[in-house]
């Protein structure tokens, strides 16, 4: 097959390209230029620690090492419109966004797939730790957890549609991270020992609050920090600086009992940050919108395990369809810091049943 590989310059996507080439596929390396990288070099970076000019150079070096063609696609406009602008709007509205999931569905498996067709490739591969299998009996493509539980990235891919999954390949999804690095060393890939990036790629120094303030100065308004009874405890410089469950950086004394205070809720209408004890963060229910079902949508309810964050342990729950692409979910046991703007992803064993965006 002719397969386009999204090459970020990291070890995972590099090994994905090398594995496919070794299997005999005709591989084309495509790197996405997502923002202006002019003048970037080494530590002098306008944005974050991923998709920099150095990363594009690394991707090109890997392509040369495995003897495949490599192209850089300018997707700055699409990235700004579909990922960065959403990120800013969500924070300004008192929600906590998940840009990696937006980037996967809107760029890597939508815009990039369209570009790949221009190179004669109907399939896009990435270095995600996840797996796709065809359920012949149901006639549906299933998204499954990666074989390495510590690196599983299926949570970030929940919004992929059936047509996108049909054209998605995850060559490292059945491997452990250690095995991926060992493969890279054995095949002489120049990024074999390159550290993984853990920052939001477009935010300098991981200072998301300053980034939002710069991009949306009119929507980052001062307000007050209040307790559950509405008593004003302090002032703040914008609700975009807070997220549900946050404990550090509140600038507050401990509660009368001496216990630390946590952010319980954000109210964009009056720019209030509500704080309280950790126990007040516990919830058993949530609602989610823009739900994408990878398995067939249930008629009424479905028993699942659900994750409310990437590193949050999956917990038993029941999903109930309440409207068009809307669900209500009830956990068997209370969960800490259910956060509007994040994704909730439903699993049946290792299979991603679906997921949506937490509303409340």
Task: State both tokens at 96.
Answer: 């906590």
- Crossing angle, helix 208-215 and helix 85-92, to 10 degrees? 100
- Crossing angle, helix 11-22 and helix 53-66, to 10 degrees? 20
Q: Half-sphere exposure of residue 359, counting CA atoms within 13 Å on the CB side?
A: 11
CA angle 205, 209, 212 (to 5 degrees): 105
Cα separations (Å) of 178 from 49, 188, 193? 22, 15, 11
Closest Cα to residue 18, out of 191, 158, 225, 163? 191
- The answer to whether residue 50 is catalytic is no
DSSP H/E element including 27: strand 26-33
Task: State both tokens at 39.
Answer: 């003048």
Distance between CA 95 and CA 343 in Å, rounded?
Answer: 11
Alpha carbon 161 to chain centroid, angstroms: 16
Closest Cα to residue 164, out of 258, 57, 292, 41? 292
Distance between CA 226 and CA 253 in Å, rounded?
Answer: 13
- The answer to whether residue 103 is catalytic is yes
Q: Which of 50, 51, 100, 201 is catalytic?
A: 201
Distance between CA 329 and CA 40 in Å, rounded?
Answer: 45
Closest Cα to residue 65, out of 171, 170, 176, 183? 183
The set of catalytic residues is 103, 201
């Amino acid at each position: 097959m002719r397969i386009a590989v999204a090459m970020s310059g990291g070890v995972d996507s590099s090994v994905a390209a090398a594995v496919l080439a070794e299997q005999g596929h005709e591989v084309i390396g495509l790197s996405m230029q997502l923002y202006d990288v002019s003048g970037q070099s080494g530590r002098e970076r306008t944005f974050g620690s991923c998709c920099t000019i150095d990363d594009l150079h690394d991707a090109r070096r890997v392509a040369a090492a495995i003897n495949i063609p490599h192209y850089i696609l300018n997707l700055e406009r699409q990235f700004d419109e579909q990922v960065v602008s959403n990120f800013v709007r969500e924070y300004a509205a008192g929600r906590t966004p998940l840009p990696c999931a937006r980037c996967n569905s809107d760029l890597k498996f939508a815009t990039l797939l369209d570009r790949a067709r221009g190179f004669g490739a109907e399939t896009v591969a990435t270095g995600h730790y996840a797996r796709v299998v065809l359920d012949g009996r149901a006639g549906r493509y299933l998204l499954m957890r990666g074989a390495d539980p510590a690196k599983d990235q299926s949570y970030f891919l929940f919004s992929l549609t059936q047509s996108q999954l049909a054209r998605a390949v995850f060559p490292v999804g059945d491997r452990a991270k250690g095995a991926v690095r060992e493969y890279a060393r054995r095949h002489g890939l120049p990024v074999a020992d390159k550290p993984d990036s853990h920052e939001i790629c477009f935010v300098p120094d991981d200072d998301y609050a300053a980034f939002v303030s710069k991009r949306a100065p009119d929507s980052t308004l001062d307000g007050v920090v209040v307790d559950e009874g509405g008593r004003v405890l302090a002032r703040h410089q914008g609700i975009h600086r807070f997220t549900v469950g946050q404990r550090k950086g509140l600038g507050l004394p401990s509660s009368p009992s001496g216990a630390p205070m946590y952010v319980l809720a954000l109210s964009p209408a009056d720019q209030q940050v509500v704080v309280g004890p950790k126990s007040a963060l516990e919830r058993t229910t949530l609602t989610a919108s823009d739900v994408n079902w990878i398995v067939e949508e249930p008629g009424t309810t479905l028993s699942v395990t659900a994750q409310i964050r990437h590193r949050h342990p999956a917990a038993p729950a029941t999903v109930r369809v309440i409207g068009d692409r809307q669900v209500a979910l009830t956990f068997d046991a209370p969960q800490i810091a259910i956060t509007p703007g994040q994704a909730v992803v439903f699993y049946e064993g290792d299979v991603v049943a679906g997921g949506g965006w937490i509303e409340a």
